[in-house]
Every structure is written in C-alpha cells, then in structure tokens.
C-alpha cells in the first residue's frame, strides 16, 4: 500500500519555496490522488513565515482555482496550518484545519520552539521564565497544546512534539523524565478527545532537524490504544519532499499495530478516507 496524499504542504504564500501550481504538478507526477495546501495562517506577530493578511483571499482563490484546473488528475484542498498560540483563520473558508504548536509562553513572554534563527530566545525563555527548568518549559508546551486542541478542535493535529526540535543530546530538557512522559500522554488524550487526527510528520526528518518523526514513535502505540487515527504528512516546504519517508512510516505503523491510515479523499470521495495498510 502506498500513501498517495499529503495534507501538510507549504508554498511561497508562506514559508514554502515554490508556487502552489508547482507543488500540485509534482503531486500529480507522484501519482497522488489528493494534495492539501496548508500554508501558515495569518497571525499578529512573527509574520515572516505566515500568509500575509492582505493576501489571504488571494491564497484561497489560487488554491480553489488549482482544484478546478487539475480536477481530472487530482483533488486539491485549501487549508491552513493554524498556530495554536497565535493563528487567525476563518475555519469555514477552508476544507479542513490543521493545527500545530510552534510556541511556548509564560507570563507574557513567548518563544518559537522550532525556529533556528530564534533558538537562543527559546533557551533564554527557559532560563528566565522557567528558572532554567527545561522540563517545566516542556510541560507548559504540552499544557498549551492540550488547551488549544480542546478549544479549537482541529481536524488534524500537526507535529505533536515539535518542542524536541532543539533537544538533541538533552540540551533543552531531560527526555527521559517521567513528568515529561506523563504530560505527553495526557496531551495525547486531549488531542483524542478533541476528535483530531494525529499527524505522523516527517518534515523534521526531511530537513535534518531531528532523527525521528513527530511524534516520536514511542507515542504511537498509546495513540492506537486510545482508538486514535493517524494521517501522514511531510510538512513539505519543497515539492521534492512531498512524500518524504512515507514508505518507512507505513511500515512502522504496521509494526506498531495499526491496520489503517487516513488520507485526504480523492475525486468523489469524502474529505477523509481510511485506507488499509496491507
């Protein structure tokens, strides 16, 4: 079984490298039945990686037009990646809402958790707002994610544990902490309660940021035990990574006991379709 869809794709409307049409054409070359364009939603600050507010209407029109242009070859969905802390979006204007957490905040101070140019700001936040306690910072990240999941109830929860982005060699916090594990499991339960699909995200792997997908494979089994459903997304910022790691993730899902995965539906199919993995 091949995964022939990707719900998490960026273009030059936000921080992607290529125009939407180039992305769609590459998806067709790969044999995709569907593709979701999900540029970063409008937000009131850190606008360098988001859709400009004055172009949001143009963005939607462009994606809708591509769906019409290529309707005989692929289904093109209009979405946004909504930030759980700062995102702004009219949900009714989009086919589905993919929500991700990119920030951690305390007492009015905040920092991006996955931005290389802002890496030192994150560590300063840990040292100043959390008294150097990286576990407290990570717990706050999952607390914020959980609250947003239950408030927004997104269709897809993107890159669940992206707070680990700068934690190679335990530089930010202790990955083995029982408190951290409990917070992750509690957050998974909130995501499940929200009704969201959990994205298995290969974007960090594709860009060499991390050595494993988001979320870590060690959390997948608990998601399955909860009855949660998974969807694969490459968080692609270039057409060359539209299906990065999908075959490996499919095999890992089978090893973790999953019998199916969710995809965006193709022509004449519902929005989300469950596909057997074997």
84: confidence class by pLDDT, cuts 50, 70, 90 = very high
SS3 204: helix
The per-residue pLDDT for 112 is 98
The per-residue pLDDT for 213 is 98
SS3 197: strand
* 123-141 residues labelled b (16+ CB within 10 A) or e (exposed): bebbeebbeeebbbbbbbb
47: confidence class by pLDDT, cuts 50, 70, 90 = very high
The per-residue pLDDT for 12 is 98
Helices (H), 198-270: 203-206, 220-226, 246-255
Pairs from 86-91 (Cβ < 8 Å, separation ≥ 24)? 86/43, 86/44, 86/45, 86/46, 87/40, 87/41, 87/42, 87/43, 88/41, 88/42, 88/43, 88/44, 89/41, 89/42
87-144 tens-digit pLDDT: 999 999 999 999 999 999 999 999 999 999 999 999 999 999 999 999 999 999 999 9
CATH 3.30.9.10: does it fit domain 5-276? no
- Please state the rounded mean pLDDT for residues 161-172: 96
- Please state the rounded mean pLDDT for residues 233-258: 98
Q: What is the DSSP letter of 38?
A: E
Residue 221's CB is within 10 A of a number of other CB atoms, namely 13
The per-residue pLDDT for 108 is 96
214-235 tens-digit pLDDT: 999 999 999 999 999 999 999 9
The per-residue pLDDT for 91 is 94
């Amino acid at each position: 079984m091949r995964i022939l869809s990707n719900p998490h794709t960026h273009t030059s409307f936000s921080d992607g490298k290529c125009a939407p049409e180039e992305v769609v054409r590459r998806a067709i070359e790969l044999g995709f039945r569907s593709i979701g364009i999900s540029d970063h939603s409008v937000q009131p600050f850190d606008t360098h990686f988001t859709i400009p507010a004055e172009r949001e209407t143009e963005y939607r029109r462009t994606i809708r037009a591509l769906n019409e242009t290529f309707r005989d070859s692929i289904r093109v969905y209009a979405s946004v990646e909504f930030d759980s802390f700062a995102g702004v979006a009219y949900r009714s204007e989009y086919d589905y809402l993919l929500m991700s957490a990119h920030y951690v905040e305390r007492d009015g101070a905040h920092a991006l958790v996955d931005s290389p140019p802002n890496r030192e700001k994150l560590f300063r936040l840990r040292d100043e707002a959390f008294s150097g306690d990286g576990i407290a910072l990570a717990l706050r990240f999952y607390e914020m994610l959980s609250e947003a999941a239950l408030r927004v109830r997104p269709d897809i929860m993107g890159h669940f544990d992206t707070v680990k982005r700068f934690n190679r060699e335990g530089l930010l916090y202790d990955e083995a902490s029982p408190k951290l594990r409990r917070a992750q499991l509690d957050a998974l339960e909130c995501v499940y309660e929200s009704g969201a699909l959990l994205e298995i995200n290969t974007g960090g792997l594709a860009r060499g940021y991390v050595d494993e997908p988001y979320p870590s494979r060690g959390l997948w089994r608990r998601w399955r035990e909860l009855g949660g459903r998974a969807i694969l997304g490459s968080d692609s910022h270039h057409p060359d990574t539209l299906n990065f790691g999908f075959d490996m993730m499919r095999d890992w899902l089978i090893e973790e006991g999953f019998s199916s995965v969710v995809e965006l539906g193709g022509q004449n199919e519902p929005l989300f379709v469950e596909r057997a993995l074997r």
